[in-house]
Amino acid sequence: MTTGNSRAISTNQQGVHEKLDDVVKKYKTSENLRPIGEHTQAAFNHVCEWLNGDFSNIILDSCCGVGESTANIAKMSPSHRVVGLDKSAQRVDKHGHYAAGQDNYRVIRADVNDFWRLVRRHHWQVHKHFLLYPNPYPKKTQVQKRWHASAAMVDLMAITPHIEVRSNWLVYLLEFAQAAQQYGIQSDIIEITGDKSMTPFERKYRASGQVCWQLLCGQEESR
């Protein structure tokens, strides 16, 4: 019996976008020269102060919304420092309702694209990177708004090969896996089971009877 009322993904795209490989190749050889936004630089500096010069054993939770997932990840990984990122001050300001009683994580408002560039530039040692239920931009014409088909993919892939992406749209994860292959990264996709939900979106989708999926990117392929 379903208890939620979340609508399933509506899309005019069937299967992996036919231009995905070309788009990924184009951005793979490009460089983002846009200046870093002031508020994201300030947020990055704040996190660096909290890390106190130790940039190892870090977990990123990008597009974390209200930060419920960040708190959950911090509980599961007490020996790591977890940084949750979201561009919306309104969502970040709601984190208090979901906060965990521990000090190994922070939820920060920042432009994710810029923050990734700074992480890469400063050589953080990121243990794992979570992207849980990013906006799927399901219209066929929106393909370049998806993370894996955007200019940000270069920085995303450079931070760590260990990435976990979740979505209720399987095509999104199939595309992400195909894009990651161009960077020599292998992936597995599995259905999410069990009773515990990582995010409010996951809880809402599953309560509505939707299947949610998990993509796990791993080690680089041998060349």
Distance CA(57)–CA(64), nearest Å, equals 19
Distance CA(109)–CA(129), nearest Å, equals 17
φ, ψ dihedrals at 71, nearest 5°: -65, -40
Distance CA(69)–CA(200), nearest Å, equals 8
In a domain, 4, yes or no: no
What confidence score (pLDDT) does residue 222 get?
46
Strand 81-86: give its sheet, edge to edge.
Answer: 105-109, 81-86, 58-62, 126-132, 163-167, 213-220, 185-191
Cβ(154)–Cβ(28) under 8 Å? yes
35-44 pLDDT tens trace: 999 999 999 9
Residues of the chain with pLDDT > 90: what percent? 87
What confidence score (pLDDT) does residue 5 get?
72
Cβ(92)–Cβ(108) under 8 Å? yes
Residue 202 has pLDDT above 90, yes or no: yes
In a domain, 1, yes or no: no
What the block records as the tokens of 209 is 């009877």
Domain count, the chain: 1
Helix (H/G/I), strand (E/B), else coil: 86: strand
In a domain, 3, yes or no: no
The mean pLDDT value for 135-157 works out to 97
What the block records as the tokens of 180 is 């990651």
In a domain, 54, yes or no: yes
E strands along the chain, which residues?
58-62, 81-86, 105-109, 126-132, 163-167, 185-191, 213-220
What confidence score (pLDDT) does residue 122 get?
96
CA separation, residue 39 to residues 36, 46, 58, 163 (Å): 9, 10, 21, 26
Distance CA(19)–CA(146), nearest Å, equals 13
For 79, the domain range is 22-220
In a domain, 102, yes or no: yes
Residues of the chain with pLDDT > 70: what percent? 96
CATH number, residue 197: 3.40.50.150
Taking the whole predicted model, whether its pTM rises above 0.75 is answered as: yes
What the block records as the tokens of 37 is 């936004």
In a domain, 11, yes or no: no
In a domain, 106, yes or no: yes
Q: How confident is the model at residue 28 (pLDDT cuts 50, 70, 90)?
A: very high
In a domain, 161, yes or no: yes
DSSP state of 123: T
Residue 189 forms beta bridges with which residues?
Answer: 215
What the block records as the tokens of 59 is 């977990």
What confidence score (pLDDT) does residue 69 get?
96
What confidence score (pLDDT) does residue 172 get?
98
Q: How confident is the model at residue 25 (pLDDT cuts 50, 70, 90)?
A: very high
What confidence score (pLDDT) does residue 223 get?
41
Residue 9 has pLDDT above 50, yes or no: yes
Mean pLDDT of the chain: 94
Structural Rg of the chain based on CA atoms: 17
